Amino acid sequence: MEHVIDLDPAAAVISERTAGWLAAGLTVGQVTWLDATSPWPRQFETDRALVRDPVSIGVLIDGPGDAGLSVVLFRGGWADVDYFDGIDDGGPIPAFDITSAAAFGTQLDQWVPRAFGNLGTSQS
C-alpha cells in the first residue's frame, strides 16, 4: 500500500481533539494501530511502540443515545468511516484523498458533528 499520509501526525490530530470531545460528553476510545508486518491474524495495538510499520489507525467515539462514530484511517489516504446518530440516521461516510494530518483533522471536524450534532464546543 502506498504511503500517502504519515499516521503518527494523524494520531496526534485525534489526541488534540480528545479533550474537547470529552468536555462535550463524548467517550473516546484509545487509538488503535495495525502493523503491516504483523502475522495473521493481525492484532490491533494501542501501544504505538509495538507497531513497526503502521498501515492504519482507528478510533471509536460514542455519544448519548447510542450515537457513535468509527474512524479507521489508512496510510493510503482514505478512511473507513461509519456513524449512527442514535436516532434514525447513519451509515458509511465517503472519505478519500486524505493527504495530510491537517486534512484528516478537517474531516474529523465534519464527521463528529454529523454523528453527534452541534456539540457547542470547539473541536480543536
Tens-digit pLDDT profile for the chain (124 aa)? Answer: 688 899 999 999 999 999 999 999 999 999 999 999 988 898 999 999 999 999 999 999 999 989 999 999 999 999 999 999 888 889 999 999 999 999 999 999 999 999 998 876 444 4
Our CA dihedral for 106, 59, 62, 82, rounded to 10 degrees, sits at 70
Q: Is 71 exposed, middle or buried (0-12, 13-18, 19+ CB in 10 A)?
A: buried
In a domain, 1, yes or no: no
β-strands 32-35, 27-28: how paired? unpaired
Query: Residue 24: inside a domain, yes or no?
Result: yes
Pick left, alpha or beta for residue 7 (phi over 0 → left; psi -120 to 50 → alpha; otherwise beta): alpha
Domain that holds residue 40: 7-115
- Indicate the number of domains in the chain: 1
In a domain, 120, yes or no: no
Query: Do residues 7 and 99 make contact, with C-beta atoms less than 8 angstroms apart?
Result: no
* DSSP H/E element including 112: helix 101-116
In a domain, 122, yes or no: no
Any domain includes 93: yes
d(CA 17, CA 124) in angstroms, rounded, equals 5
The answer to whether the pTM exceeds 0.85 is yes
